[in-house]
Amino acid sequence: MVRIEHIGIAVKELDQANELFKKLFGEASYKEETVESEHVTTSFFKIGPNKIELLEAKADESAIAKYINKKGEGIHHIAFEVDDILAEMERLRGEGFQLINDQPKKGADNKLVCFLHPKTTNGVLVELCQEIK
């Protein structure tokens, strides 16, 4: 793994959260993007070399809606940048981690992504992401 790419935060209302995080960081979100396949709208902030992703559910079947219903708003996942997502998925499978998706999916921000099940990572939802070149 290369580095932490971003931290994902589940929010109920993106407009309200955008305003709040703009105040917190002193800078507005630089990008909003809806990922139809995941039923979420995302908003990205840059803080120096780091990124924060806010996620709002667009439908009840969205994983974000389920998460908020169960746990409320808050930190949802940590995303790690990888150079070769297929190789990293293979390696982690071999180490006994449970992958939520068998194949990388197209995520927000021009990335291929794969999630690790929190039950095999001490309760932390881990996202692997590789930039699509």
- Alpha-carbon distance 122 to 118, whole Å? 6
Q: Which is nearer to Zn ion, 56 or 127 (CB)?
A: 127
Whole-angstrom distance between the N-terminal and C-terminal Cα of the chain?
18
Decide if residue 126 touches Zn ion (CB under 5 A): no
Q: Is residue 8 at the binding interface for Zn ion, with CB under 5 A as the rule?
A: yes
Is 104 near Zn ion (CB under 5 A)? Answer: no
Answer whether 127's CB lies under 8 Å from 78's CB: yes
Which residue number, 75 or 87, has a Cβ lying nearer to Zn ion? 75
> CB–CB of 85/42 below 8 Å?
no
Other beta carbons within 10 angstroms of residue 75's beta carbon come to: 13
CB of 79 to Zn ion, least distance (A): 4
- Select from 17, 52, 63, 79 the one that contacts Zn ion (CB under 5 A): 79
* Binding interface with Zn ion (CB under 5 A): 8, 53, 79, 127
